[in-house]
Structure 1
Amino acid sequence: MDDDADDDLASMPLEFTAFCELHRPRYLSYARVWFHDPVRAGQVVDRALRALAGIWSEVLGSPNPTAIAWQILRSTVAACDRPAPGPIAEHRPAPADEDLAILHYVVGLAAPEIADTVGAERASVAGQLRHALQRMPQEW
């Protein structure tokens, strides 16, 4: 994270720091798919982690903190991935199957790692990956 982000998050609990150390590399790999500039990808991930830090105590008390954190990342990526001004273009966040396919086929994570990253059941991730492969192989 950048120096300002480090300062903002320095007072966070150890659980948050550990969460960031575990998930930030995977979040960065995902963001780099959308933002080919590594600096921009890092800024987007840092923005998502700051948003997560702001509600960490509620997230930690939820049944699935990892899934909430993943949704914050996806929302942040979608908000930052706006087309340049010009003709009207709608931005739609990637469907869940596409996210899983990106994490598997582009980032290189196995189904168990993806499940840990997005806060989903491993069997569900494996099934969704099979479904995504059947639906959209020509795009990969």
Structure 2
Amino acid sequence: MAKNKFNDGAPSQRQLRVGELIRRALSEVLARGDVHDAELNRLSITVGEVRTSPDLRIATCYVLPLGGKGKEDVLKLLAKNMGELRRLVSKKTALKHSPEFRFRLDETFDRMDETERLLNQDVVRRDIDG
């Protein structure tokens, strides 16, 4: 697929739409406990974002367990059940091709906490308040 000269490497509308479709379906599958893995079904996992490759063949899923505990275990469990997750999500989304899933930790919340901590420092507050 040729690169759009206007998007400068930013995801296309199609990538964003498919990513959100996959995020919702994956969230639902995990919330309902549809996977045949009792260990995975015991966990509450947030799917913060799904980014797809330009050809929509790879979906990188940014996840975080509730409370942020056991992050590495969650990644291992998701990777172990990737085939079933992919099949279940594919059924819900009716996409022509089921993308390969890659699971990564969603660090958005950590970055937000760090930003808030920085903004609340006395030196920064003086600069902001003026």
Shorter chain as denominator, the TM-score bin is: 0.3 to 0.5
- TM score, norm. by length of structure 1: 0.36
Structure with the higher helix share, 1 or 2: 1
With the length of structure 2 as denominator, give the TM-score of the two structures: 0.37
Determine which structure has more spread, i.e. the larger CA radius of gyration. Answer: 2
